[in-house]
Chain A
Amino acid sequence: KAGVTQTPRYLIKTRGQQVTLSCSPISGHRSVSWYQQTPGQGLQFLFEYFSETQRNKGNFPGRFSGRQFSNSRSEMNVSTLELGDSALYLCASIGTEMNTEAFFGQGTRLTVV
């Protein structure tokens, strides 16, 4: 079956702009989570969605937001971009079985200039 698909793979934006990233989870998976990966901070949890509801949120400013649609696809939005938002943004999906692992997409590399 198809894996987790993230689009776009690469983005270059200017400070102050906003950006929307998309994630399509594996078909039938219930949960989508987002992570930010930077060399300095490592992998940081952003938020988790289950059945269109945000279940958990990490310690990020309100400029970072997300949503999940009825088909489980998820988007995250970052408004008023800052240079420090440059990172690899990873999406993960988790299936309905108990004790299952998260499957990650290849990520979206965001560069803010």
Chain B
Amino acid sequence: AQSVAQPEDQVNVAEGNPLTVKCTYSVSGNPYLFWYVQYPNRGLQFLLKYITGDNLVKGSYGFEAEFNKSQTSFHLKKPSALVSDSALYFCAANPYNTDKLIFGTGTRLQVFP
């Protein structure tokens, strides 16, 4: 079965420090990869995507993600965390020729002042 894994339920980081939220995928072919963020009682907001090309993609709010095909990973990063980045982050894969998204279980990011 195709799946996306986010191994950490929660990531804690101090404001101003770099952050990484991990994601690996097991999806056949060359899926499109996405990161979404969810704030309490809200829908999902798009952060960034990898389709093809450069392995480092930049997105909204200073976030970036590094794609590694050999490790089938797509880790979310930010050089300097803000308290306002505290939220639930989802990694998702979009198999070829479908609009269906396969989501990871989510990682709660907590940024402490």
Contact = CB atoms under 8 A, between A and B. Distances in A.
A102 B32 CA distance: 12
A58 B98 CA distance: 13
Interface stretch (A11-19, A69-77, A103-111): A103-111
B87 interface: no
Please tell me the size bucket of the interface on B.
20 to 34
B99 A105 contact: no
Contacts of A105: 43
B62 to A, nearest CB: 18
A99 B52 CA distance: 10
Interface residues of A, number: 25
Contacts of A31: 99
Contacts of A48: 98-100
A64 interface: no
A103 B102 contact: no
Given A90-B44, A92-B44, A102-B101, 17 more contacts: A31-B99, A33-B100, A35-B103, A42-B105, A42-B106, A48-B98, A50-B99, A56-B99, A58-B100, A90-B43, A92-B101, A94-B99, A103-B46, A104-B36, A104-B43, A104-B44, A107-B43
A96 to B, nearest CB: 11
Contacts of A45: 100-102
Interface in B29-43: 32, 34, 36, 41-43
B49 A101 contact: yes
Interface in B14-73: 32, 34, 36, 41-46, 49, 51
A35 B105 CA distance: 13
Nearest to A44: B103
A102 B105 contact: no
Contacts of A104: 36, 43-45
**Closest 6 pairs (CB-CB, A-B):** A104-B43, A43-B103, A104-B44, A106-B43, A31-B99, A42-B105
